[in-house]
Structure 1
Amino acid sequence: MKSYLIRLVDYEQWANRAVIDALENVPTPPQRAIDLMGHILSAQQIWLARILGEVSYVAVWEDIPIAWMAETSDRNFDRLKRFLENETDDNLSRPIAYATTTGQPFANPLIDILTHMSHHAAYHRGQIVQLIRPQLTEAPKTDFILWARN
Protein backbone atom coordinates (compact mmCIF):
# COMPACT_ATOMS: atom_id res chain seq x y z
CA MET A 1 0.00 0.00 0.00
CA LYS A 2 2.86 2.37 0.80
CA SER A 3 4.26 2.11 -2.71
CA TYR A 4 0.83 2.86 -4.17
CA LEU A 5 0.48 5.98 -2.02
CA ILE A 6 3.94 7.16 -3.07
CA ARG A 7 2.85 6.70 -6.70
CA LEU A 8 -0.28 8.71 -5.94
CA VAL A 9 1.80 11.51 -4.44
CA ASP A 10 4.06 11.47 -7.52
CA TYR A 11 0.97 11.75 -9.72
CA GLU A 12 -0.41 14.59 -7.61
CA GLN A 13 2.79 16.57 -8.06
CA TRP A 14 2.75 15.99 -11.82
CA ALA A 15 -0.90 17.07 -12.09
CA ASN A 16 -0.45 20.10 -9.85
CA ARG A 17 2.57 21.27 -11.82
CA ALA A 18 0.68 20.84 -15.12
CA VAL A 19 -2.08 23.13 -13.87
CA ILE A 20 0.38 25.61 -12.36
CA ASP A 21 2.33 25.71 -15.64
CA ALA A 22 -0.92 26.42 -17.48
CA LEU A 23 -1.81 29.21 -15.03
CA GLU A 24 1.62 30.74 -15.63
CA ASN A 25 0.97 30.77 -19.37
CA VAL A 26 -2.58 32.13 -19.36
CA PRO A 27 -2.52 35.83 -20.30
CA THR A 28 -5.19 36.82 -17.77
CA PRO A 29 -6.06 33.92 -15.49
CA PRO A 30 -9.42 34.25 -13.75
CA GLN A 31 -9.02 35.14 -10.08
CA ARG A 32 -11.18 32.12 -9.18
CA ALA A 33 -8.66 29.81 -10.89
CA ILE A 34 -5.79 31.38 -8.94
CA ASP A 35 -7.79 31.12 -5.71
CA LEU A 36 -8.59 27.44 -6.32
CA MET A 37 -4.94 26.52 -6.96
CA GLY A 38 -3.96 28.43 -3.85
CA HIS A 39 -6.63 26.49 -1.96
CA ILE A 40 -5.26 23.15 -3.18
CA LEU A 41 -1.77 24.07 -2.01
CA SER A 42 -2.98 25.52 1.30
CA ALA A 43 -5.11 22.46 2.04
CA GLN A 44 -2.08 20.26 1.38
CA GLN A 45 -0.05 22.29 3.86
CA ILE A 46 -2.80 22.10 6.47
CA TRP A 47 -3.19 18.34 6.11
CA LEU A 48 0.58 17.87 6.20
CA ALA A 49 0.73 19.81 9.46
CA ARG A 50 -2.04 17.65 10.90
CA ILE A 51 -0.32 14.45 9.82
CA LEU A 52 3.04 15.58 11.21
CA GLY A 53 1.57 16.95 14.43
CA GLU A 54 2.59 20.51 13.62
CA VAL A 55 0.77 23.79 13.95
CA SER A 56 -0.37 25.22 10.64
CA TYR A 57 -0.27 28.95 10.09
CA VAL A 58 -1.85 28.75 6.65
CA ALA A 59 -5.42 29.77 5.89
CA VAL A 60 -7.64 27.33 3.99
CA TRP A 61 -7.99 29.93 1.22
CA GLU A 62 -4.46 31.33 1.38
CA ASP A 63 -3.65 34.00 -1.18
CA ILE A 64 -0.74 32.40 -3.04
CA PRO A 65 0.61 34.32 -6.04
CA ILE A 66 1.08 32.28 -9.20
CA ALA A 67 4.81 33.02 -9.02
CA TRP A 68 5.01 31.12 -5.70
CA MET A 69 2.82 28.16 -6.61
CA ALA A 70 5.45 25.90 -8.19
CA GLU A 71 7.79 26.31 -5.23
CA THR A 72 4.95 25.74 -2.76
CA SER A 73 3.86 22.63 -4.64
CA ASP A 74 7.43 21.31 -4.72
CA ARG A 75 7.86 21.90 -0.99
CA ASN A 76 4.55 20.16 -0.15
CA PHE A 77 5.47 17.24 -2.42
CA ASP A 78 8.94 16.84 -0.93
CA ARG A 79 7.64 16.88 2.64
CA LEU A 80 4.81 14.42 1.97
CA LYS A 81 6.92 12.03 -0.07
CA ARG A 82 9.72 12.04 2.52
CA PHE A 83 7.15 11.35 5.23
CA LEU A 84 5.63 8.43 3.31
CA GLU A 85 9.01 6.93 2.49
CA ASN A 86 9.70 6.71 6.24
CA GLU A 87 6.32 5.18 7.14
CA THR A 88 5.62 1.47 7.41
CA ASP A 89 2.60 -0.18 5.82
CA ASP A 90 1.24 -0.87 9.31
CA ASN A 91 1.32 2.84 10.17
CA LEU A 92 -0.87 3.77 7.21
CA SER A 93 -4.00 2.71 9.06
CA ARG A 94 -3.14 4.53 12.28
CA PRO A 95 -5.56 7.26 13.28
CA ILE A 96 -4.49 10.88 12.96
CA ALA A 97 -6.17 13.15 15.51
CA TYR A 98 -6.74 16.71 14.36
CA ALA A 99 -9.11 19.63 14.65
CA THR A 100 -10.91 21.20 11.72
CA THR A 101 -10.42 24.86 10.95
CA THR A 102 -13.50 25.50 13.11
CA GLY A 103 -11.93 23.57 16.00
CA GLN A 104 -14.03 20.41 15.75
CA PRO A 105 -11.97 17.36 16.78
CA PHE A 106 -11.74 14.29 14.56
CA ALA A 107 -9.51 11.28 14.03
CA ASN A 108 -9.21 9.47 10.71
CA PRO A 109 -6.87 6.78 9.45
CA LEU A 110 -3.82 8.20 7.69
CA ILE A 111 -4.72 6.33 4.50
CA ASP A 112 -8.15 8.01 4.43
CA ILE A 113 -6.58 11.45 4.85
CA LEU A 114 -4.11 10.79 2.02
CA THR A 115 -6.95 9.58 -0.21
CA HIS A 116 -8.98 12.67 0.64
CA MET A 117 -6.05 14.94 -0.21
CA SER A 118 -5.77 13.38 -3.66
CA HIS A 119 -9.48 13.49 -4.43
CA HIS A 120 -9.85 17.03 -3.12
CA ALA A 121 -7.04 18.30 -5.35
CA ALA A 122 -8.37 16.46 -8.42
CA TYR A 123 -11.81 18.00 -7.93
CA HIS A 124 -10.42 21.53 -7.79
CA ARG A 125 -7.93 20.98 -10.63
CA GLY A 126 -10.91 20.13 -12.83
CA GLN A 127 -12.56 23.40 -11.86
CA ILE A 128 -9.39 25.34 -12.68
CA VAL A 129 -9.06 23.73 -16.10
CA GLN A 130 -12.67 24.63 -16.89
CA LEU A 131 -11.96 28.25 -15.97
CA ILE A 132 -8.76 28.64 -18.01
CA ARG A 133 -9.64 26.45 -20.99
CA PRO A 134 -11.03 29.36 -23.08
CA GLN A 135 -7.62 31.08 -22.95
CA LEU A 136 -5.54 28.04 -23.93
CA THR A 137 -4.82 26.34 -27.20
CA GLU A 138 -4.61 23.08 -25.29
CA ALA A 139 -5.79 22.64 -21.73
CA PRO A 140 -3.66 20.58 -19.34
CA LYS A 141 -4.65 16.94 -19.16
CA THR A 142 -4.23 15.68 -15.62
CA ASP A 143 -5.93 12.28 -15.67
CA PHE A 144 -4.17 9.68 -13.56
CA ILE A 145 -4.13 7.19 -16.42
CA LEU A 146 -2.25 9.63 -18.64
CA TRP A 147 0.43 9.95 -16.00
CA ALA A 148 0.51 6.17 -15.41
CA ARG A 149 1.11 5.49 -19.11
CA ASN A 150 4.46 7.26 -19.00
Structure 2
Amino acid sequence: MKTIQKMYEHLNWANQRILEILQSIEEENQEVSRLFSHILFSEKVWITRLRGLESSELPIWSEVDIEFCAKLVMQNEESLTTFFTNLAHTDMDKIITYTNSKGIKFKNSVRDILIHVALHGQYHRGQINSRLRANGMEPVNIDFITFMR
Protein backbone atom coordinates (compact mmCIF):
# COMPACT_ATOMS: atom_id res chain seq x y z
CA MET A 1 0.00 0.00 0.00
CA LYS A 2 2.82 2.41 0.86
CA THR A 3 4.38 1.84 -2.57
CA ILE A 4 1.14 2.63 -4.39
CA GLN A 5 0.59 5.73 -2.26
CA LYS A 6 4.12 6.88 -3.13
CA MET A 7 3.37 6.27 -6.82
CA TYR A 8 0.39 8.63 -6.51
CA GLU A 9 2.40 11.28 -4.72
CA HIS A 10 4.77 11.05 -7.69
CA LEU A 11 1.84 11.14 -10.17
CA ASN A 12 0.52 14.38 -8.62
CA TRP A 13 4.01 15.91 -8.56
CA ALA A 14 4.68 14.93 -12.19
CA ASN A 15 1.31 16.28 -13.36
CA GLN A 16 2.05 19.57 -11.62
CA ARG A 17 5.50 19.81 -13.26
CA ILE A 18 4.06 19.13 -16.73
CA LEU A 19 1.27 21.65 -16.09
CA GLU A 20 3.79 24.33 -15.09
CA ILE A 21 5.87 23.89 -18.24
CA LEU A 22 2.79 23.91 -20.46
CA GLN A 23 1.54 27.08 -18.75
CA SER A 24 4.90 28.74 -19.43
CA ILE A 25 4.81 28.08 -23.18
CA GLU A 26 3.62 31.13 -25.11
CA GLU A 27 1.95 29.21 -27.94
CA GLU A 28 -0.10 26.25 -26.87
CA ASN A 29 0.93 23.03 -28.61
CA GLN A 30 -2.28 21.24 -29.54
CA GLU A 31 -0.72 17.77 -29.62
CA VAL A 32 0.97 18.17 -26.23
CA SER A 33 -2.16 19.66 -24.65
CA ARG A 34 -4.23 16.79 -26.05
CA LEU A 35 -1.88 14.21 -24.51
CA PHE A 36 -1.89 15.98 -21.16
CA SER A 37 -5.67 16.31 -21.08
CA HIS A 38 -5.91 12.59 -21.98
CA ILE A 39 -3.87 11.73 -18.87
CA LEU A 40 -6.15 13.86 -16.72
CA PHE A 41 -9.43 12.69 -18.26
CA SER A 42 -8.29 9.08 -17.90
CA GLU A 43 -7.47 9.64 -14.23
CA LYS A 44 -10.97 11.10 -13.75
CA VAL A 45 -12.57 8.11 -15.49
CA TRP A 46 -10.70 5.61 -13.32
CA ILE A 47 -11.45 7.57 -10.12
CA THR A 48 -15.12 7.45 -11.08
CA ARG A 49 -14.92 3.69 -11.64
CA LEU A 50 -13.14 3.15 -8.34
CA ARG A 51 -16.02 4.95 -6.64
CA GLY A 52 -18.43 2.49 -8.24
CA LEU A 53 -20.01 5.14 -10.47
CA GLU A 54 -20.82 5.00 -14.18
CA SER A 55 -17.95 6.29 -16.35
CA SER A 56 -18.81 5.20 -19.88
CA GLU A 57 -20.05 8.66 -20.87
CA LEU A 58 -16.99 10.54 -19.57
CA PRO A 59 -14.52 11.73 -22.21
CA ILE A 60 -11.10 10.15 -22.48
CA TRP A 61 -9.88 12.33 -25.36
CA SER A 62 -11.13 15.89 -25.58
CA GLU A 63 -9.85 19.23 -26.85
CA VAL A 64 -9.48 21.54 -23.84
CA ASP A 65 -7.18 24.42 -23.01
CA ILE A 66 -4.46 24.50 -20.38
CA GLU A 67 -6.69 26.35 -17.90
CA PHE A 68 -9.15 23.46 -17.99
CA CYS A 69 -6.24 21.05 -17.50
CA ALA A 70 -5.17 23.03 -14.43
CA LYS A 71 -8.65 22.54 -12.94
CA LEU A 72 -8.53 18.80 -13.71
CA VAL A 73 -5.09 18.48 -12.07
CA MET A 74 -6.49 19.98 -8.88
CA GLN A 75 -9.76 18.00 -8.97
CA ASN A 76 -7.99 14.69 -9.61
CA GLU A 77 -5.46 15.29 -6.85
CA GLU A 78 -8.25 16.07 -4.38
CA SER A 79 -10.27 13.03 -5.48
CA LEU A 80 -7.29 10.70 -5.23
CA THR A 81 -6.32 12.05 -1.82
CA THR A 82 -9.85 11.42 -0.57
CA PHE A 83 -9.86 7.95 -2.13
CA PHE A 84 -6.59 6.97 -0.44
CA THR A 85 -7.71 8.42 2.89
CA ASN A 86 -10.77 6.16 2.83
CA LEU A 87 -9.07 3.06 1.44
CA ALA A 88 -8.41 0.22 3.87
CA HIS A 89 -5.61 -2.29 3.20
CA THR A 90 -8.16 -5.05 2.69
CA ASP A 91 -9.83 -3.11 -0.13
CA MET A 92 -6.88 -3.43 -2.52
CA ASP A 93 -8.03 -6.78 -3.87
CA LYS A 94 -11.68 -5.78 -4.17
CA ILE A 95 -12.96 -6.40 -7.70
CA ILE A 96 -14.39 -3.41 -9.56
CA THR A 97 -16.81 -4.03 -12.42
CA TYR A 98 -17.04 -1.24 -14.99
CA THR A 99 -18.04 -0.56 -18.57
CA ASN A 100 -15.51 1.08 -20.88
CA SER A 101 -16.25 3.80 -23.44
CA LYS A 102 -17.03 1.13 -26.06
CA GLY A 103 -19.69 -0.48 -23.86
CA ILE A 104 -17.61 -3.54 -22.91
CA LYS A 105 -17.73 -4.76 -19.30
CA PHE A 106 -14.54 -5.58 -17.42
CA LYS A 107 -13.51 -6.59 -13.91
CA ASN A 108 -10.21 -5.65 -12.27
CA SER A 109 -8.93 -5.32 -8.72
CA VAL A 110 -8.48 -1.93 -7.10
CA ARG A 111 -4.74 -2.69 -6.92
CA ASP A 112 -4.45 -3.40 -10.66
CA ILE A 113 -6.44 -0.28 -11.55
CA LEU A 114 -4.29 1.93 -9.35
CA ILE A 115 -1.08 0.54 -10.83
CA HIS A 116 -2.46 0.95 -14.35
CA VAL A 117 -3.40 4.60 -13.81
CA ALA A 118 0.04 5.49 -12.45
CA LEU A 119 1.86 3.72 -15.30
CA HIS A 120 -0.51 5.05 -17.98
CA GLY A 121 0.13 8.64 -16.95
CA GLN A 122 3.89 8.16 -16.87
CA TYR A 123 3.83 6.70 -20.37
CA HIS A 124 1.99 9.71 -21.78
CA ARG A 125 4.11 12.21 -19.81
CA GLY A 126 7.08 10.60 -21.59
CA GLN A 127 5.35 11.24 -24.92
CA ILE A 128 4.84 14.87 -23.91
CA ASN A 129 8.53 15.19 -23.08
CA SER A 130 9.46 13.67 -26.43
CA ARG A 131 7.32 16.23 -28.25
CA LEU A 132 8.73 19.09 -26.16
CA ARG A 133 12.25 18.03 -27.15
CA ALA A 134 11.21 17.77 -30.83
CA ASN A 135 9.99 21.37 -30.56
CA GLY A 136 13.36 22.52 -29.22
CA MET A 137 12.38 22.66 -25.56
CA GLU A 138 13.99 21.02 -22.56
CA PRO A 139 11.96 18.01 -21.35
CA VAL A 140 10.59 18.11 -17.80
CA ASN A 141 12.44 15.83 -15.38
CA ILE A 142 9.64 13.69 -13.97
CA ASP A 143 11.74 10.69 -12.97
CA PHE A 144 10.57 8.97 -9.82
CA ILE A 145 14.06 9.14 -8.28
CA THR A 146 14.12 12.90 -8.84
CA PHE A 147 10.81 13.11 -6.99
CA MET A 148 12.28 11.05 -4.14
CA ARG A 149 15.34 13.26 -3.88
Taking structure 1 as the reference length, the TM-score comes to: 0.91
CA contact (8 A) 2:32 2:128 kept: yes
Structure 2 residue 41 is the aligned partner of structure 1 residue 42 = yes
What SS does the corresponding residue of 2:101 show, helix, strand or coil? Answer: coil
Deviations 1:47-87 (A, max 9, x none): 11111012334311022210121221111011112111111
Deviations 1:23-56 (A, max 9, x none): 1112223211010001000001111111101233
Query: 1:80: which partner in 2?
Result: 80
Deviation at 1:135, TM superposition (A): 4.1
Query: 1:121: which partner in 2?
Result: 121
Query: 1:29: which partner in 2?
Result: 28
Query: 2:66: which partner in 1?
Result: 66
CA contact (8 A) 1:22 1:139 kept: no
Query: 1:147: which partner in 2?
Result: 147
CA contact (8 A) 1:37 1:128 kept: yes
Percent identity between matched residues is: 29
Aligned length: 147
Greater relative contact order structure (CA < 8 Å, 6+ sep):
1
What SS does the corresponding residue of 2:61 show, helix, strand or coil? Answer: coil
Question: How many angstroms apart in 1 are the aligned matches of 2:52 and 2:63?
Answer: 24
Structure 2 spans left out of the alignment, 5+ residues: none
Structure 1 spans left out of the alignment, 5+ residues: none
Question: How many angstroms apart in 2 are the aligned matches of 1:58 and 1:105?
Answer: 15
CA RMSD of aligned residues (A): 1.3
What SS does the corresponding residue of 1:98 show, helix, strand or coil? Answer: strand
